[in-house]
Amino acid sequence: MALTAERTEPISILQRERPLRPDLMLVLSFLALSAIGIVMVYTATAPALELAGADTATTMRRHAIFVMIGVAVFIVASLIDQRALLSLTPIAYLGSLVALFLVLTPLGTEFNGARRWVDIGPLPFQPSEFAKIAVVLALAALLGNGTAGKVRWDHIARAIVLVGLPAVLIFRQPDLGTMLVFGFVAVAMLFASGTTWRQLAFLVIAATVGAVGIFRAGALRTFQIQRLTAFLDPSEDLAASALYNQIQSEIAIGSGGFFGKGLGQGTQTNLSFVPEQESDFIFTAVGEQLGFIGGTIVIALFGVLVWRVLVAAVNGRDRFGQLVAVGVAGMLMFHVFVNIGMTMRLVPVTGLPLPFMSAGGTAFIAFSLALGMAHSVWMRRSPVPGE
Amino acid sequence: MTLAWRAGLMGMVFFALLAVLSLRMWQLQVAEGQEYAERAESNQVGFAPTPAPRGEIRDANGVLLAGTRPALAAVVDAKILSEEDEPQLVAQLSALLGLSVEEVQMFIDDVQARGDRVPIVSDLTDQEALFITEHGENFPGVEVEPQPIRTYPLGELASDIVGFIGLPQPADVEGGAEPTVLLGRAGLEKEYDSQLQGTPGQIVYRFDARRQGDVLSEDVPTPGNTLFLTIDTELQRVVEESLAEGLQLSRDLYEDPDCVPGSADDGGDPRCPVRAAGVVMDVTTGAVLAMASVPTYDPNIFIGGVSQAELDALPDGVFNNFAIQGEYAPASTYKAVTYFTAYEEGMPPYSATNLEEEILCSKELRLPFLGEGSQQVFRNWTGRDDGLQNIHRAFTRSCNVYFWEIAAQIWNEKQGTDDESILQDWARDFGFGEPTSIDLPFERKGLVPDRALFELWKEETPQRLDPARLSYASPWLGGDLMNAALGQGEVLVTPLQLANAYAAMVNGGSLWEPYVVDHIENLDGDVVADHEPTLLRSIDVSPQTVANFRRDMQQVVNDPAGTAYSAFEEFGDNVELVGGKTGTAEIIKETEEQEGVTTALFAAVAPVNQPRYVVVVVIERGGSGGRIAAPTARPILQYLLNGANAVTPIDAGEDAD
């Protein structure tokens, strides 16, 4: 009976028996991008700080602290089982809604014409960065629940509501970039869940109509319209127009050439021609100083990262984890494309940071968290791929 | 389709997006990298010219007439000033500088149109400079910069020679002038602009987008060269004061001493004495020792800007140098030309056989043979018979009849022949009818009329001629030669031409090219250009004629019957060394009701036995040569012969031609 007894205590393939195995390629890409980011932040900020008579490493040191926090967050998130994550999802989603609401209250602070920050504790905090993750979790929870291989229209309707609630709050800030992230991530996750081609077409058309509607309704702030119109019609006075940033960035990257001008030798970035070069335009510093070679390496690193996250999605042990990974992949991809495209005047300026490289604490920690969640899915992967 | 398939599809889309980024990067950095590198270069390097201090202008003794001093300028930079900032800047500048908003706006518009850096104020007070610097945010596009500034320490003195500077006119800019660099607009400042200009320096900045920059390199400007003139400032001062005094005297003698000259249409009084011009030359070299045109101006008014109202308040023609730009009928001073023609061509008066033979200087002359259209009766200025006169007496008394008879003889003997224009040829030999080529701008050339000219006018500009003449076979009539022999009719000369011709007459026939700049030195004091006296031509005149001419000029001043005798009665020592010739040019004809209006001229030489100086004085509409011009020239000659202490105030002389 021992045999039977043994059989009544089966080794479930769903139970973790093997030790957790990290994805080395994913981890190394993550650390490499973060390290390049720290160096770039230093080269982009040091000349201006020196001019002001301050310590040239001030901004870099601050960013490095966030990187360390982010790495810690990544490790912790990698260790959290996605089932625990599933149970946290309602709290995360509702918490994000509350935080987004707080931005619009007197607690929120305005910066560069947009309210995106909440002053809580010693550091300003940007809830929309975490709202992206909350939306990924909520959509994964919705679509992972018994929709194996098929998406019903009511799923689509409920997904739209889930994305719509935070979107409305973000729309009031306003933060066009984040809304576009929501849209892209939602479409990607719905597609992965098994939409029909008709459903996909409907979603793409709906998203397009929505974007145009927002633009037409005059709901955008002047600076956003300027960014878009300047992009479409660059004939305006350069220095005065919103296109200035992009033109300067384009010149900077172009002038970097094949090998780049060398670290600290970027006349465009180091002489402050490119605004926001340590945050949204960090890739400009890469392109100018490290050239085509350096830029290609950075893009390749992102490619590896997104590839590994998609691989994690394919190997995920349950549908919720798989969809979380798909959402994280979509979110990373969208940021990388829109941000780098913006620095090369390929797409309009939307104010999305470059993951793991742009200076900015909240964004770095949020991306670390997202990547950690996807990594967790890989570490608890199914021994039989595809289940 | 499983999730694996769908994820694979997404991976392909993502890969395509990353490939798009890489391709764009290749396009920017590799395909077009060179162009972008150049754009980045021009983005960060700026050039700012630094004006060179203009060279100095000094007189023969080194006295400073034009110099430079350092000053702070408020420079408006069109490249920095944006249109949105303009209203604020205009308001701030007009409040700070006490200028009207319209004036400032006009200036700013001009700067924006030129797209350049132009000083709106070139000489800020310390307070203004400090205010602009401290409130930089209120003055977008304005920078306070040290810039050299032109100064004319002696003000009006010699201003007609020195000239002034200003921003280039559109024509200058088309000719290649830097639109923001001040250049000479008149006088020596214009003529020698390339010498005075110097080489501007250049500062190369490397700056960032906030225009905070550091200097990469700086080429120091090289100051312009220094002009040393032939002008003697002390003599110049005597000449200017004498001319001003003479002009005032002529106005005091006029019925309305406070009259305003000008045409009646403009509310002026055409009979009012207008201005005076004078020249002192060295007859041995052509060096101009003094030259003036009064009323004149202070060139300092152009420094730091001058308003239209200020300019309008100045007398007409104040910026013109009438010593070289005024064209006057020389009247009896021109008898010197007829004198030389008569001697050298052997042309006695019509009713005499030689020049020593005396004829009656009658009150009027009838010349029935002059032909149709010509005036047949000529009246002497004395209004009565003036006794028997040979050429010497006739020159001393300025007898019109005698010189008309010489013209009549020429007409009678030469008309229609190849050398019918001998009188005009002599005039041209002495430099009339052509510019003297003095090293000053805007010189006029005067006019020597002859048959060829009148026939040309008949062809091309018949309105210049009396319509009655057009019906004759030739518009040039005997009466025209009569007029020409007395420097009337169409004859026009500049005071400088007159002085230069007299210089050649008394020095034995050497016509020099007049000049003002003796030599030019660079910053180190090395002579970079030295003016050697230049002979325009050597005129073949007999020494006997020259000796006669000198003696007769001396008589004009020293013989009690001479037309300038009364003017020189109070001269003091050495009056016997002075020779001269009066002239009175009719501007408005005398009528039954009203006296005529005449321009007074006097040409003098000293010392007459060994000529050194020629002095010419013209008082436009001032009266007669004997009454006004000779007395005005007297203090100048007193100064030249007897020194500064010998100069006495001007009194009107006897009214004589």
Ordered domains of chain B (ranges, CATH): 66-151 (3.90.1310.10), 233-328+501-530+557-646 (3.30.450.330), 332-496 (3.40.710.10)
Judged against a pLDDT cut of 60, whether residue B101 lies above it is answered with yes
Q: How confident is the model at residue A33 (pLDDT cuts 50, 70, 90)?
A: very high
What residues of chain B lie within 8 A of the CB of A337, using their CB? 17-18, 20-21
Biggest CA-to-CA distance, chain B = 141
Identify whether the C-beta of residue B443 lies closer than 8 Å to the C-beta of residue B389. no
Percentage of the residues of chain B whose pLDDT score is greater than 90? 65
The interface residues of chain A toward chain B in range 304-363, judged by CB-CB distance below 8 A, are: 306-307, 310, 313-314, 322, 326, 329-330, 333, 336-337, 340-341, 344, 346
Residue A225 pLDDT: 62
List, for residues B106-163, the tens digit of each pLDDT value: 888 887 776 667 778 878 888 888 888 888 778 888 888 778 889 999 999 999 999 9
Residue A2 pLDDT: 41
The interface residues of chain A toward chain B in range 55-74, judged by CB-CB distance below 8 A, are: none
Residue A123 pLDDT: 47
**DSSP of B15-38:** HHHHHHHHHHHHIIIIISHHHHHH
Lowest mean pLDDT among A109-113, A329-333, B298-302, B444-448: A109-113
Q: How far is B10 from chain A (nearest CA, A)?
A: 8
Q: Using CA atoms, how far apart are residues B498 and B629, in angstroms rounded to an integer?
A: 14
Residue A6 pLDDT: 44
- Chain-centroid distance, C-alpha A221: 23
Dihedrals phi, psi of B378, to nearest 5 degrees: -120, 135
Is the CB of B6 less than 8 angstroms away from the CB of A191? Answer: yes
- Which H or E run contains B544? helix B543-558
Q: How far is A380 from chain B (nearest CA, A)?
A: 17
CB under 8 Å to B457, separation ≥6 — which residues?
B464, B465, B475
Length of chain A: 387
Q: Please, which residues bridge with residue B74 across strands?
A: B121, B144
Q: Using CA atoms, how far apart are residues A386 and A127, in angstroms rounded to an integer?
A: 35
**DSSP of B371-400:** -TTS--EEE-TTSS---EE-HHHHHHHT-H
Q: Using CA atoms, how far apart are residues B175 and B51, in angstroms rounded to an integer?
A: 20
CB under 8 Å to A324, separation ≥6 — which residues?
A82, A85, A136, A137, A140, A316, A373, A374, A377
Judged against a pLDDT cut of 60, whether residue A20 lies above it is answered with yes
Which of A251, A257, A310 is facing B7, going by the closest CB pair?
A310
Residue A108 pLDDT: 61
Residue A9 pLDDT: 47
Judged against a pLDDT cut of 70, whether residue A121 lies above it is answered with no
Q: Using CA atoms, how far apart are residues B539 and B464, in angstroms rounded to an integer?
A: 33
List, for residues B24-81, the tens digit of each pLDDT value: 999 999 988 888 887 777 666 666 677 889 999 999 999 999 999 888 888 887 767 7
CB under 8 Å to B106, separation ≥6 — which residues?
none
**Rounded to 5 degrees, what angle do the CA atoms B598, B601, B607 make?**
160
CB-count exposure of residue B316 (10 Å: 0-12, 13-18, 19+): middle
Mean pLDDT of all residues in B546-558 = 97
Token pair 């990353």: residue: B18
Q: How far is A251 from chain B (nearest CA, A)?
A: 5
Token pair recorded at residue B158: 């010699």
What residues of chain B lie within 8 A of the CB of A273, using their CB? 43-44, 208-209
**Strand ranges (E), B607-646:** 613-620
Q: Using CA atoms, how far apart are residues A150 and B1, in angstroms rounded to an integer?
A: 10
Mutation choice for B interface testing from A151, A255, A309 by most B CBs within 10 A: A255
Q: How far is A218 from chain B (nearest CA, A)?
A: 25
**DSSP of A9-73:** S---TTS--SPP---HHHHHHHHHHHHHHHHHHHHHHHHHHHHTTS-TTHHHHHHHHHHHHHHHH
Is the CB of A239 less than 8 angstroms away from the CB of B82? Answer: yes
Is the CB of B24 less than 8 angstroms away from the CB of A344? Answer: yes
Residue B615 pLDDT: 98
Is the CB of B25 less than 8 angstroms away from the CB of A296? Answer: yes
Q: Using CA atoms, how far apart are residues A171 and A174, in angstroms rounded to an integer?
A: 5
Bigger pLDDT: A234 or A177?
A177
Is the CB of A287 less than 8 angstroms away from the CB of B25? Answer: yes
Q: How confident is the model at residue A226 (pLDDT cuts 50, 70, 90)?
A: low
Lowest mean pLDDT among A202-211, A339-348, B415-424, B481-490: A202-211
Token pair recorded at residue B4: 């694996």
Mean pLDDT of all residues in A271-277 = 65
Mean pLDDT of all residues in A256-274 = 75
Q: Using CA atoms, how far apart are residues B528 and B578, in angstroms rounded to an integer?
A: 38
Among B545, B520, B546, B518, which Cα is nearest to B532's?
B518
Q: Spell out the alpha helix ranges (H) of B228-383.
A: 233-253, 308-313, 322-325, 335-345
Judged against a pLDDT cut of 50, whether residue B553 lies above it is answered with yes
Residue B160 pLDDT: 96
Q: How far is B31 from chain A (nearest CA, A)?
A: 9
Interchain CB contacts (distance < 8 Å): A and B: 141
Q: How far is B113 from chain A (nearest CA, A)?
A: 17
What residues of chain B lie within 8 A of the CB of A313, using their CB? 3, 7
Mean pLDDT of all residues in B478-505 = 96
Identify whether the C-beta of residue B650 lies closer than 8 Å to the C-beta of residue B634. yes
Which of A240, A257, A333 is facing B37, going by the closest CB pair?
A257
Q: Using CA atoms, how far apart are residues A239 and A254, in angstroms rounded to an integer?
A: 19
Cα Rg of chain A, angstroms: 22
Chain A: residue nearest B17 by CA?
A337
Mean pLDDT of all residues in A163-185 = 83
Pairing of strands B226-229, B57-58: parallel
Is the CB of B82 less than 8 angstroms away from the CB of A240? Answer: yes
Chain B: residue nearest A188 by CA?
B10
Token pair recorded at residue B388: 């028997």
Chain A: residue nearest B213 by CA?
A271
Among B652, B645, B657, B656, which Cα is nearest to B567's?
B652
Identify whether the C-beta of residue A77 lies closer than 8 Å to the C-beta of residue A375. yes
CB under 8 Å to B651, separation ≥6 — which residues?
B249, B570, B631
Which of A192, A295, A333 is facing B17, going by the closest CB pair?
A333
- Range B371-374, long-range pairs (CB < 8 A, 24+ positions): B371/B477, B371/B478, B372/B472, B372/B477, B373/B468, B373/B469, B373/B472, B373/B477, B373/B479, B374/B477, B374/B478, B374/B479, B374/B480, B374/B482
Judged against a pLDDT cut of 60, whether residue A117 lies above it is answered with no
Residue B81 pLDDT: 75
Q: How far is B86 from chain A (nearest CA, A)?
A: 14
